[in-house]
Amino acid sequence: MSPTFQAIIFGFLGLAAMWGIRKNIMTGTATSRGWTCTIDDNPIGFCLIVCGKAAIVGFAIAEIMHGFGLCDDPLQIIQHALPFLPTRAI
């Protein structure tokens, strides 16, 4: 898969995650896989869902930067940092 195509795909994923974060913060309700948390009833669950979406945005930005040649492959960096993960075939 070409790096430019990866940048486009991860750009759309990042935009979708940012839209979800904005919607969650505005309503005070976060939903993930059928599990709904409100900021008043379960603030830790709400924060975990929003932080998970923020991690997706960060990974999308890293993949976009890799697609345009501005940084190394984020998957290889993660694999180097966590050596117990299985290697992927290229």
- Beta bridge pairs of residue 32: 35
66-90 residue pLDDT tens: 888 888 888 888 888 888 888 766 6
Residue 20 lies in a domain: yes
Residue 88 lies in a domain: no
Domain ranges, residue 44: 3-81
Specify the number of domains making up the chain.
1
Residue 87 lies in a domain: no
Q: Which amino acid is residue 54, in one-letter code?
A: A
Report the pLDDT value the prediction gives residue 64, as an integer from 0 to 100: 85
Residue 86 lies in a domain: no
Helical pair 43-67 and 3-27, crossing angle rounded to 10 deg = 160
17-34 residue pLDDT tens: 889 889 988 999 888 778
Using a cut of 0.85, tell me whether the model's pTM lies above it: no
Residue 31 lies in a domain: yes
Residue 24 lies in a domain: yes
Of the chain, the percentage scoring pLDDT greater than 90 comes to 4
Residue 89 lies in a domain: no
